Chain A
Amino acid sequence: MEFDLKTIEALAPDQASLSAASRLTKQSNWPRLEKSEQLALLWGECQGSGSNPYRVVVDTGDHGYKCTCPSRKFPCKHTLALMWIAATTPASFAAAGSTPEWVNDWLGRRRKTSPQPTGPAPGAGGKSIGEISLDDESTVVEDAAAVERREAAQRKRTQDTQSAVSAALDELDQWIADQLRLGLAGFVDNSSDRCRRIAARLVDMKATALAGRIDEIPSRLMGLRSEERPDAAIRELGKLVLLAKAWRSTPGDAELRRLVSTSENREQVLANPEAIQVESIWEVLGEKIETRRDGLVSHSTWLLNLKSASPQFALLLDYFPASAGRRSNAFTSGDRFDARLVFYPARQPLRALMTDRKGDVPSGEWPDFGFDAGDPLAAHVAHQDTAPWLTDCPVMLPPGAILLDDRGAAWWQATGDPHGIALPIADTVNPTLLGLDLTATAALWNGSRLDLLAAQSRFGRLDLS
């Protein structure tokens, strides 16, 4: 069985979709249900409200899907219903000798997550991304002058962008100095307006990523108690200074460009020889979906490398417009799979792309990371030493527990903590968690608060995200 109800539940955009899907799981709604085990595909035709049946295809390997219905929900009820039938009555799918044209068409157009090892042979029957890119290249080679023109235009655009970003950082520097002169008390109180204004200027000057980050400062400050906000403001603005300085020293640096202006696309990352590739067993620690002030939703999926002797994390990050509704989750917290990840080049590689997901792996305990009684935030310090502009850092905390203070706020503290250290937790916690000894805890530390992802305990894995 490729799907289970847990996965379908996680994929569903909302309860209404699940309910609607459950009504569509009657086989009478599906005149055609077929599968190709070889291609790890399921497809079917669902008789919906339209004249033509809706065609649904689902890739059981990476949970990719396509439905021809006009719904703006992703996945739609038809897709969910198909998965649901696969989870509950897999025998309903007849083995097909060949895939229909519309399935082939989708396969050819979709952005596959599996790698294209050497590129398909020219003239091969089925379409693929590799073939498309080869086609593009062949077109380009025919017109060297056009290539030259395009490359020149690209160079000019890069130079223009760098000039614009440089000017943007000058403006940011001035703005930071102004905040210090006017007083951080006033900045904290008016951070929303002030950050919005400078962020708008930065967007105009092509420092888009930096603008998005500054736009989020107010909400980060407001998440803290009032007495903590000035220190947090110092940290936020100080990191911006560091980032601006780093960019000026190496404006071509991929990591810094990503943090200041724009990120490279998937193909660029995959083509970058400096991009580290790690093939391992990964566990989905948790997901964070946040709507940003700029109208984008950031969808972060945090992974843990289960073959690494020391904790290695990876972040799968997507942005999509808030107006598109909730994007489907590709994973469920706790999922384990064998996959190859390609990391975006960085001083502390975290953000990654999944290029090859081979198969699911049974759940179990995390590796023994050999915790010592040292600083629980040592990993954070290491990140800050090499990339001091980073805000959030994933950490694997040693054995500990969640405690409450007299205000009812939750804190994580190491078992037998010798340092008098406790880390405040960002959100309220499930009260049951207060009674559990956590043998290891994966979390994000942002300098002020701990955002819990998952933990191990004698009750097994705990999903905390």
Chain B
Amino acid sequence: MNEIEQTGLATMRDSWITGGTSFDLAPAAWKEIAGGASLDERERRLLAIAAQALDIALRPAAPKTLKRRPVLPELALPMLPERLRPLLRAALKHAGDTRSKTRVVSLVASRGFVLHPMDWMPAVSDQNGPDVYAPWIDWQAGADGEKHTRQEKLTAENWDDFYPAARRTALADMRRTAPASARQLIETKGSGEPAEIRLALIELMRFGLGADDVPFLKSLSADRSGKVRELAGRLLARLGEHGQLGDGGPEDPTAELAAFIAEGKSGFIRRRTTYTPAKLKSPAQERRRAELFETCNLVDLATRFGTTESEFIGAWQFGAENDADILVARMVAASGSEAAVTHMADTLVAEGGKPALFVLHLMPRLDNRRKRVLVRLILKDTQYLGALNLAESLEASWLEWADLTNGQTLPMLRSAVAGNDDAVKRGVDQLLETMGFLATAATAEKLIGDVVVAGMAPAAPSLGLLRLNASLAEP
């Protein structure tokens, strides 16, 4: 379409918009085609020509504001094979919440694959998914260019070349292998970062935490951010370092917390010290006690009673009051030393029964061996199978068939599947989902066969993750 035609079309268009005839405004060539007819027919012919001109002669111009997102980075692991994507999507669809979806993703990663980006993408805030997705988290966060390379080692010089998630992953790795180097980096570069990022960086100090970290963590007591100071205090407490000990007066939170705990003696021959929760008189007291357990450190509390962390835990009477037990467990998880954490886990697991379930609160601090011991205990016991669904920080794909046959788990599952109790069946569904995450491929396959024989619908959605698991070859 030439310029005359374009101009003609624009004026005709304006005329038609407001209403009226456009013949006189049409380009000469168009008039020639449209002429020799009634007034209405001429307009219709011009309309037809205009329609065709708009359709084939004009193209939408690219707006100047068009912006291209950076290319989605490729990940270090290969994509899940196409044939398994329907199973994966079924498992993701059945996984109701972010935590369940993360389990699906973690299972796939444990078998050496990543998901297709159109099937699942990590959220910007995702810190629980497999590390392999860090480049996609940074991409989601709006990272606007190629910066880091995976192979490159993080240093003070290339600090800014890493996006936050990639930097976090690199630092966590470094803390595990060379904690001093990582600490120096955090010390050097962290001070220039905003409080939120500083907090995330200090949080990484939990990996490979050791006595060498004490001076740096102590230096953080002067940090501008209260949250950073609090976190540093907890990390110091884990190393057995006391926070600022109070004067024991009414303003001292540790003393206030100690007042909620009753010290007693038990045993006739060998008198032993015991700690039990003091009886509370009001919900306000309950709330205050919970706050104090959250803000105080275990080491300070133990010191207040003139004992060590391990002795305090050993003397705590688990089972006296469930809420208080949970608060103690959380306190140990947050600020207990490694020795205190393992002592509590080993003691309660050895005791078994309900007290062992408090170890679930310690999961993020436990090594994989202890986590597995706890899971096996719960499976063997079968009384609290539902608690497995609450377990955090579990690793995927290790549960063997023998772990299921070493107790009453399978008979219990079979009977629940065959029964008619809907509530029990819902519990079974959740458990099977958890099994789908924990089991090896061989275990998953056997378990599917077992529950189907017991009467479960072969296509039951709750078997989705187990099916995906069974289909994924071990790496």
Contact = CB atoms under 8 A, between A and B. Distances in A.
Interface stretch (A157-165, A199-207, A255-263, A397-405): A397-405
Interface string A161-191: 0000000000001101100111111100000
B52 interface: yes
A375 B60 CA distance: 12
Interface stretch (B10-18, B185-193, B250-258, B285-293): B10-18
Interface string A223-241: 0000000110011111101
A422 B459 contact: no
A420 interface: yes
A185 B48 contact: no
Nearest to A229: B17
Contacts of A413: 62, 66
B90 A177 contact: no
A245 B41 CA distance: 11
B51 interface: yes
Contacts of A424: 60
A388 B44 contact: no
A245 B51 CA distance: 14
Contacts of B54: 231, 234-235, 238, 447
Interface string B48-87: 1111101110011111011111111010000100100111
Nearest to B79: A459
Contact of A432 (B66, B117, B457): B117
A186 B52 contact: no
A88 B117 contact: no
A255 B44 CA distance: 22
B20 interface: yes
Interface string A408-452: 000101000101111110000010111111000000000100000
Contact of B65 (A230, A235, A405): A405
A25 interface: yes
A435 B458 contact: no
A406 B64 CA distance: 9
A6 B458 contact: no
B455 interface: yes
A406 B19 contact: no
Nearest to A18: B461
Contacts of B68: 401, 403, 434
B16 A174 contact: no
B312 interface: no
A377 B70 CA distance: 26
Interface string B97-139: 0000000000000000000111001000000000000000001
Interface string A88-104: 11000000000000000
A185 B17 contact: yes
Interface string B20-56: 1110000000000000000011011101111110111
Nearest to B87: A5
Contacts of B116: 459-460
A345 to B, nearest CB: 23
A181 B20 CA distance: 5
A381 B53 CA distance: 11
A421 B117 contact: no
A30 to B, nearest CB: 11
A183 B66 contact: no
B354 interface: no
B89 interface: yes
Contact of A235 (B55, B74, B85): B55
B67 A435 contact: no
A384 B459 CA distance: 49
A183 to B, nearest CB: 3
Contacts of B66: 403-405, 411, 413, 422
A435 B72 contact: yes
A27 B455 CA distance: 8
A206 B40 CA distance: 24
A22 interface: yes
B20 A385 contact: no
A234 B79 contact: no
Contact of B139 (A21, A404, A435, A460): A435
Contacts of A245: 48
Contacts of A236: 51
A380 interface: yes
A87 to B, nearest CB: 7
A363 interface: yes
A434 B69 CA distance: 6
B460 interface: yes
A118 interface: no
B51 A237 contact: yes
A72 interface: no
B458 A432 contact: no
A289 interface: no
Contacts of B61: 420-422
B455 A176 contact: no
Nearest to A188: B17
B86 A180 contact: no
Listed residue (A87, A186, A403, A458) with the most chain B CB atoms within 10 angstroms of its CB: A403
A362 B454 CA distance: 35
A25 B457 contact: yes
B79 A4 contact: no
B62 A417 contact: yes
Contact of A460 (B44, B82, B452): B82
A5 B86 contact: yes
A174 B452 CA distance: 69
A84 interface: yes
Contact of A419 (B16, B59, B74, B79): B59
Nearest to B59: A421
A196 to B, nearest CB: 21
A176 B48 CA distance: 11
A462 interface: yes
A242 interface: yes
A27 B457 CA distance: 8
A191 B86 CA distance: 44
A385 B55 CA distance: 10
Interface in B434-467: 452, 455-461
A408 to B, nearest CB: 10
B63 A411 contact: yes
B43 A180 contact: yes
A23 interface: yes
Nearest to A83: B459
B44 A405 contact: no
Interface string A347-380: 0000000000000000100000000000101001
A460 B59 CA distance: 29
Contacts of B85: 6
Contacts of B21: 180-181
A182 B21 CA distance: 10
Contacts of B43: 177, 180-181
A430 B117 CA distance: 10
A461 B68 CA distance: 21
A135 interface: no
15 contacts: A21-B459, A23-B457, A84-B459, A87-B459, A174-B40, A183-B20, A237-B51, A238-B51, A363-B82, A384-B56, A406-B63, A417-B62, A420-B61, A422-B66, A435-B70
| Ranked 6 nearest A-B pairs via Cβ | A238-B51, A183-B19, A435-B72, A422-B62, A6-B86, A177-B40
Given A363-B82, A421-B59, A421-B62, 9 more contacts: A25-B459, A84-B458, A377-B59, A388-B55, A405-B67, A411-B62, A419-B59, A422-B62, A435-B117
